[in-house]
Amino acid sequence: MSAALTETEARVATIMTSPQRALGFDEITPDTSMSHDARIDGIDIDDFAHDMHQEFGEIVHEIPWLRFSDQRASFRGCGCLMLPFWLLWRLIVRSRGEPVIPPPNGGDERLTVRHIAKVIDQGFWSEPTDTE
């Protein structure tokens, strides 16, 4: 049974569980991590941030989304020019037993539903604490 969500947390959870995403609404708790649990990484962050902006407005641009997700296999804008070199490097690394495309690891930090909702409710970015 999932923990009770506040109204804002429920709105975040609804976006976090849209059809193409990994978790269902009933699986989301305040402590669910955007990247580690819901598997929103790479360029999927762009779609998630866009959907969040549609729902909550400009405040979502205060959140450093990329910091809380795995971006190792993501290429945006002119960075796409690096894709062939990255693939060559990944093929070399594969010879050492690693996968060609690394599975997302969720990044070094967790961004939870609770903290995303807190930022939206307070109207500005603040660093997550150990209790969020």
Q: Give the pLDDT band of residue 1 (cuts 50, 70, 90).
A: very low
Q: Which has more confidence, 16 or 87? A: 16
Q: Which has more confidence, 84 or 24? A: 24
Q: Please give the mean pLDDT across all residues of the chain.
A: 83
Question: Tell me, what's the pLDDT at 96?
Answer: 72
3-state helix/strand/coil string of the chain = CCCCCCHHHHHHHHHHCCCCCCCCHHHCCCCCECCCCCCCCCCHHHHHHHHHHHHHCHHHHHCCHHHHCCCCCCCCHHHHHHHHHHHHHHHHHHCCCCCCCCCCCCCCCCCEHHHHHHHHHHCCCCCCCCCC
